[in-house]
Amino acid sequence: MSKVDLKVKVWRGAQEGEFIEYLVPRNPHQTVLDVVTYIQRKLDPTLSYRFACRVGMCGSCAMTVNGVARWTCRTHVSKIVKGDSLEIAPLNNLPVIKDLATDMREFFNKWKGAVGFFKGSQTRHEDFAKIEPSSKERQLANAGIECIGCGVCYASCEVVESRPNYLGPAALNRAWTLSNDVRDIQQLERQRAIAGDAGCHACHTQGSCTERCPKGIEPTASIAGLKKLVARSAVRGAKWGKL
């Protein structure tokens, strides 16, 4: 490990702003979030950023590090440092509130727009629904269920960049897991919401979301699944009826 301090350029400002360089001592097993926290605690307390769990569960701390969107709490500096330099910026494709904190309202509103929420038909007074863990639907849902909502896929997606009304990989991945939830009763409503140019059909299958997802989820595959599902519903009708 190098004894030389890290030269860390950090975005300061909102939409308009500039990179300011800080010198941060290197530590073994140091994460990018450690670096940002050091700057805020020791060098400049006015730095704004967002984090919560520090262990890769909450999805709060994603930032653009050396040009790539990453979860900073689980990203070791040694794995991505270029020489002794780091450049830390807020996530792409989201408005910047201040410094490294972005406004994620639109990101989460799009989950709502994709009917990315569960609605069942049973009440708490009824017995648990029994879902066979090895059933095809459950397996498909499992493949995408571990999303932590960090926004890395959304920030990495070039379609989101060029087409601001596109729902994006995270919202569509959630729509796919719910499409495979046999208890959910909003299937056709969801399919209407995600069909078309602002939905799954806008995906170019470039796969940046899949490449960058820190949880190893494949939103590209989920979106491909949605395209097939929606097409089947539109042309022939699926088990929930015809679109």
Partner 1 sequence: MSKEMCFEGVLQAKLWYAQRISAMILGICVSIHLAIIFYAIRGGLTAQEILGRTQGNLLFALFYEIFVLACFVHAPIGMANILQETFPKLSFAKPISWVLALLILLLGSSAVIGIYSGGIL
Residue ranges in contact with partner 1 by CB under 8 A: 162-163, 192-197, 199, 201, 227, 230-231, 233-235, 243
Closest CA to 111 of 225, 190, 217: 190
Least distance (Å) between residue 87 CB and partner 1: 30
The minimum distance between CB 165 and partner 1, in angstroms, equals 9
Nearer residue to partner 1 within complex by CB, 44 or 158: 158
d(C-alpha 72, C-alpha 61), whole Å: 6
Nearer to partner 1, 98 or 192 (CB): 192
State both tokens at 54: 């520090």
Query: Minimum Å distance from CB 158 to partner 1?
Result: 11
Q: Are the C-beta atoms of 217 and 143 separated by less than 8 Å?
A: yes
Closest CB 114 distance from partner 1, rounded Å = 11
Q: Which is nearer to partner 1, 100 or 200 (CB)?
A: 200
CB 115 within 8 A of CB 193: yes
Question: Which residue's entry shows tokens 């596109």?
Answer: 166
Select 170 or 203, whichever has its Cβ closest to partner 1.
203
Nearest distance from residue 139's CB to partner 1, in Å?
Answer: 24
Spatial contact of 222 and 172, defined as CB atoms under 8 Å apart: yes
Pairing outcome for strands 68-71 and 101-102: unpaired
CB nearer to partner 1: pick between 97 and 231: 231
Strand duo 6-13 + 85-89: pairing: parallel
